[in-house]
Amino acid sequence: MLELQDVCFTIQKDGEAVNLVDKVNLTIPRGHFMAIVGPSGCGKTTLLKTIAGLNPESGGALMWEGRNLSEEGDLDPSEIGYVPQFSIAYDPLTVDESVEASTRLRVKVRDLEELDQRIDRVLEEAGLAAIADRQVKVLSGGQKRRLGLAMELVSDPKLLLCDEVTSGLDPRSEREIVRLLHDLSRREGRIVLSVTHSLAHLELYDSILVLHEGRVAYHGPPEQMTHYFSVHDTEEVYPKLATQTSERWQSSWMKHRESYYLKLEKNRSKQIDSGGLHLPAEPDAILAEGEEGKPEVEKASTPGFFTQFTTLLSRRWRIFFRDRGQVFLQLAILLCFPVLVTLFSENAKGQIANLSDTRQGNLMEEYQEQSTVKRDQVRVGSSISGIIMFQVILLSLMASNNSAREIAGERPIFEKEKFGGLRPSAYLASKVAFLACLVLAQSLWMAVFVNLFAPFRGGTGGFESHILFLLLVNGGMTAICLGISALMRTAEQASLLSIYLVGFQLPLSGAVLALPEAVEVFTRPFISAYWAWSGSVSALEPKVLDAVKAVIDTSLSGREACIYVLVAHISIGLIAAWIGARRHQWD
């Protein structure tokens, strides 16, 4: 049984407290199918989120099976299912793969046989068995709503909350979804609450809750609603609500609610007597395992970290390879960016003349020799410095493309899965593992490809250091952009901020023009490009390093300092990503 006792949800607006849900009192028995209706902005979805625990109640109490949720904590993820307005499935996956991933993330199964049985049962219940191999992107609106229901049914929730699941559907599809919800409420005493703007098919519900400005105006049998509001048709209910204040409707309902609740109880008794409603034994009547009599009803438990991590990582790679546009973009970047670097590598191959060990007798010859050495230093030094910075900036751009939308782009699905029991740690670990593969492939290919056509002038040790710094700058920018993605509410915000961040790397690095010392002190710690460029340049062989120093005005930092700073950037990015992943950002 679900019971709401004077439940309120309050927000602050213009410095004043506004009750979006105001002293709602309801009693909903097991096996009950209830519609929540009312004009736009009346608090339907807000009430549903309050019941789900997404909105912490500001007053009153929520009771579930005799347990005070306000004091003893929210419902267990396996006890509740929430079907939001938006799609909670990835377009490239099939129906079967979507349900399988949801099952692996929410339910701990003993073996593959149990997993397959649960998936098959859920697909059958939701009417999706015939289209299990169809991709989500080709499903109709009604089929997507069924899929959303199926992904919630994997844990056998006793409370199923549906938010506008019939919105935008044609009349036939709408009736099919309502009929499906009705049938689901008849199994194992499941309570199904459905928010809807439609006043059609109300005869399929056990009761109708009418809200007006966050207050209860009516809660009773659907056939009694027109009588209560003194209208001829249900479509006239909303205009009727506007004739009185919500306080008056609430006061009127509190006077008449007992008589209407008696009618609800009579209808419920008829359903049980006719066999149309099957209820399991009361929870307090079920004996614990080991006692004489019935065993304890087994409740689905949440899988461990490793199971969730492997499921998410496998799903991410599957989505990646099925997105042809993303695969093509990654390949194009991987192939074109190194080629672009080699176009400017010709001057870096040149030799730097040495000054003669013996002093020239002719001043003109001595001057010409010094000029030749200086010219070689400028040509080679500027080319090598530029190529290193070019690689660093291109890898920073790759990093932004890697992760700027990685979390923000799927925020609604992530929040929904987190509500269903997904560990943020498993989610973030799967993202880091996926992005680490991209960072390795991009950085190593950039270094090796460019070195084939423009051999690195730093010797063996210098080339290894160069690879290390390319990995670190790509990893650092990827981690920072991932943190931005986790903290932003939309993918557009995350992408824009990440692009700005990459855009400032080159001018603030000091590799092209030295910054004023007063500015450099504040900006340098945050510019990953400087530390990767400086670390790579510092590892060059002495002759080449002198050539680079001859053409730059920016001071260089030591190799160890550069490594420490870039590792710190990676750490800061991952910490920001962790904070963003844990933070509640349900829209």
**3-state SS, one letter per residue, for 212-276:** ECCEEEEEECHHHHHHHHCCCCHHHHHHHHCCCCHHHHHHHHHHHHHHHHHHHHHHHHHHHHCCC
Q: Domain residues of the chain, as ranges?
A: 1-68+160-170+188-277, 80-156, 305-582
pLDDT value at residue 366: 55
Q: What tokens appear for 278 in the block?
A: 């099957």
Half-sphere exposure of 231 (CA within 13 A, CB side): 14
Nearest CA to 577 out of 473, 465, 429, 436 is that of: 429
> β-strands 191-195, 159-163: how paired?
parallel
Q: What tokens appear for 75 in the block?
A: 């419902």
* Residue corresponding to tokens 């390319």: 470
Q: In which element (H, E) is residue 208 found?
A: strand 207-212
Q: In which element (H, E) is residue 432 found?
A: helix 424-453
pLDDT value at residue 372: 56
Rounded Cα gap, residues 192 and 161, in angstroms:
6
User: For each successive 10 residues of the chain (587 residues), what is the average pLDDT?
Assistant: 92 86 92 93 92 90 88 85 88 96 93 93 93 94 92 94 89 91 88 91 92 94 92 91 92 90 84 68 46 50 94 97 93 89 65 47 57 59 80 93 94 93 96 97 91 65 86 96 94 93 86 75 88 87 76 82 96 97 84
pLDDT value at residue 184: 92
pLDDT value at residue 379: 63
Q: At what angle do helices 559-582 and 459-487 cross, to 10 degrees?
A: 20
pLDDT value at residue 17: 86
pLDDT value at residue 455: 65
Beta bridge partners of 351: none
Stated pTM of the model: 0.88
Any idea what DSSP says for residue 94?
B
Asked if 166 contacts 198 with a C-beta cutoff of 8 angstroms, the reply is yes
Give the number of other CB atoms < 10 A from CB of residue 177: 23
Q: Which fold has domain 1-68+160-170+188-277?
A: Rossmann fold (3.40.50)
pLDDT value at residue 167: 86
pLDDT value at residue 353: 46
Nearest CA to 444 out of 402, 395, 397 is that of: 395
CA distances from residue 299 to 76, 109, 154, 280, 296 in whole angstroms, order as listed: 10, 11, 12, 14, 9
Q: What tokens appear for 35 in the block?
A: 């519609």
* DSSP character string of 410-428: GHHHHHHHHHTT--HHHHH
pLDDT value at residue 342: 80
